[in-house]
């Protein structure tokens, strides 16, 4: 029997208009958007639906907005397929919080509040440092690590074969891009981000996030949730707390996380939330895996049909 994993989008997936068609076509979706606005005391749904882009891409807004749209997609999938069961969850960086909420580790509202705070803390860290990130395309992990060591930057994301992301001080990122190209990278391009996520430059956000998480009751996951830091399932609630704090400065081991699931018989992966980046990564990790996604009414209908078939 095939196993199914749910995958939740991370920061960078945001796009103005995300979730609007879901809210317009589903009373359930509309109710969740209203519930989020009430919980936060602000019109987060308006930012999702109307932007402007500068407001949506602000880390303090982008993180809860993606969490919200991803959660709504998850709820609509459950509603449209009442007998649907999943066997594990995973999420890219921010998406790990949505994955934990889907597994019942904390409530929707608690997750929303923590993610909003996480975004604020990371935005503050960005403002206090001069950081950046770059995508390294077509260069293996070992030479990329050599580039990082020589340039004084860090390996932030190991997404899939041929796609890595580095993070650090802006001037050092420029040097790393030159080194990566010299070592044979097909492309090495700076990313339009506010700072050096998943690097030591985010360290100031860690004690603040640790305090915020300490106020949130954490339950044992109802299904395995793969941790970005270890590429293995979270254990006890105390372990979850620690890993989420570590994750702020640690590398996101996404490819290893997916290979962990593939090695244990997972054959179906459903990406929930805006964009389809995680689906693209999976196609480069294992083309034989079934990859579905839910981000709007059309993709929801296609996923339901695939599940039924």
Name every residue whose Cβ is closer than 8 Å to that of residue 124 and which is 6 or more positions away in sequence: 204, 205
Which residue numbers are catalytic? Answer: 93, 198
Find the angle CA(80)-CA(309)-CA(10) to the nearest 5 degrees: 55
Burial of residue 82, with CB atoms counted within 10 A of its CB: 0-12 exposed, 13-18 middle, 19 or more buried? exposed
Q: How far apart are CA 111 and CA 97, in angstroms?
A: 7
């Amino acid at each position: 029997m095939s196993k199914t994993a749910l995958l939740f989008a991370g920061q960078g997936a945001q796009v103005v208009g995300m979730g609007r068609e879901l809210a317009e076509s589903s009373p359930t979706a509309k109710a969740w958007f209203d519930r989020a606005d009430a919980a936060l005391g602000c019109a987060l749904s308006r930012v999702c639906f109307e932007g402007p882009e500068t407001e949506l891409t602000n880390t303090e807004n982008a993180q809860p907005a993606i969490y919200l749209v991803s959660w709504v997609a998850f709820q609509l999938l459950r509603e449209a397929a009442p007998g649907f069961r999943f066997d594990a969850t995973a999420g890219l960086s921010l998406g790990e919080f949505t994955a934990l909420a889907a597994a019942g580790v904390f409530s929707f509202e608690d997750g929303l509040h923590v993610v909003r705070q996480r975004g604020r803390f990371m935005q503050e860290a960005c403002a206090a440092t001069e950081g950046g990130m770059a995508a390294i395309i077509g260069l293996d992990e070992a030479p990329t690590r050599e580039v990082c060591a020589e340039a004084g930057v860090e390996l932030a994301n190991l997404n899939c074969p041929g796609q890595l992301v580095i993070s650090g001080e802006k001037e050092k990122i420029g040097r790393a891009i030159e080194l990566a190209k010299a070592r044979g990278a097909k492309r090495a391009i700076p990313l339009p981000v506010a700072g050096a996520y998943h690097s030591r430059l985010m360290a100031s956000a860690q004690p603040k996030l640790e305090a915020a998480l300490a106020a949130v009751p954490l339950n044992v996951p109802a299904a395995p949730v793969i941790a970005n830091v270890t590429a293995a399932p979270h254990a006890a609630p105390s372990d979850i707390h620690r890993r989420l704090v570590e994750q702020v400065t640690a590398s996101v081991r996404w490819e290893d996380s997916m290979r962990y699931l593939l090695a244990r018989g997972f054959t179906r992966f459903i990406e929930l939330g805006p964009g389809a980046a995680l689906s693209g990564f999976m196609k480069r990790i294992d083309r034989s895996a079934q990859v579905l996604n839910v981000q709007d009414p059309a993709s929801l209908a296609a996923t339901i049909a695939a599940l039924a078939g």
